[in-house]
Structure 1
Amino acid sequence: MQIRLNGCAFELPDHATVAELLAKLDLQGRRVAVELNLDIVPRSLHGSTLLKDNDCVEVVHAIGGG
């Protein structure tokens, strides 16, 4: 299937989850925020949130500061 990842076309296997996407991007365990079709996906739901063809996903790295 094809999704839009941060504005660019990206190929994934059918029925991939947000967690599988993050693993493919080598971002597992990192502090990131994931938005799926304009809704934030809580970290606790990454493993159970399925992606569908043409979904729009934004992945943003969390940066600490003071």
Structure 2
Amino acid sequence: MPLTLTLNGQNRTFEGLVPDSNLAELVDALGVKGDRVALELNGEIVSRARWAEASLANGDKVEMVHFVGGGSGA
């Protein structure tokens, strides 16, 4: 059974993940660099060190913020 989450306010189904997958696996499935995102699970910020421990269930709400580098160079 695939995992269905609300990711950044949008309902998404992840065919490659199942309930009890974890946040680290979600980041991998999304193909994003783990060192450039922050995650919140059901209203609580989860530190990167705990992503592998944070199990996911159908209906969970995940907020992901991407950090973008750059600047004016001045």
- Greater helix proportion: 2
CA displacement, residues 36-66 of structure 1 (integer Å, 9 cap, x when unaligned): 1111000000011101111100111123467
User: What is aligned with 2:39?
Assistant: 34
Report the AA paired with residue 44 of structure 2. D
TM-score normalised by the chain length of structure 2: 0.77
Which residues of 2 match residues 1-66 of structure 1 at below 5 A? Answer: 1-12=3-14, 13-64=18-69
* Structure 2 unaligned spans of 5+: none
* Structure 1 unaligned spans of 5+: none
| Superposition deviation, residue 30 in structure 1 | 3.1
- Identical counterparts, % of pairs: 39
Question: How big is the alpha-carbon RMSD for the aligned residues of Structure 1 and Structure 2?
Answer: 1.6
The one of the two structures with greater contact order (alpha-carbon pairs below 8 A, sep at least 6) is 1
TM-score normalised by the chain length of structure 1: 0.85
